[in-house]
Amino acid sequence: MWEYIIKRVVTEGEYIAESGATVRAAAQHFGVSKSTVHKDVTERLEEIDPGLYEEVKKILSINLSERHIRGGMATKNKYAMLRHTTEGVTGGVE
């Protein structure tokens, strides 16, 4: 495996382990695709650093189990914001 890939994989794994970041957040932080981060931390990291892989695996499992809650909160906030911005337009009358 190329040296730069090994460094990237370990850096991504450490970032997720320290911050509890999602794959999407890590991808944005490092400027790579979600697919790249996911492959790095679920396949390549296991070969490079099994201990770090186990830590990251736990965090990804937590993120997966909380995903539906985050989505629901985002939807709730979206419609609350829309309701707030349209009240000024209609004068509060629906």
CB 52 within 8 A of CB 17: yes
Q: Tell me if 52 is assigned to some domain.
A: yes
Which residue segment(s) compose the domain that 77 sits in?
Answer: 3-88
Grade residue 66 by pLDDT with cuts at 50, 70 and 90: confident
pTM: 0.76
Q: Tell me if 34 is assigned to some domain.
A: yes
Q: How many domains does the chain fold into?
A: 1
Q: Tell me if 94 is assigned to some domain.
A: no
Q: Tell me if 28 is assigned to some domain.
A: yes
Is residue 34 classed exposed, middle or buried when 0-12, 13-18 and 19+ CB atoms within 10 A define those classes?
A: middle
In this model, does residue 53 exceed pLDDT 60? yes
Q: Tell me if 93 is assigned to some domain.
A: no
Grade residue 89 by pLDDT with cuts at 50, 70 and 90: low
Q: Tell me if 13 is assigned to some domain.
A: yes
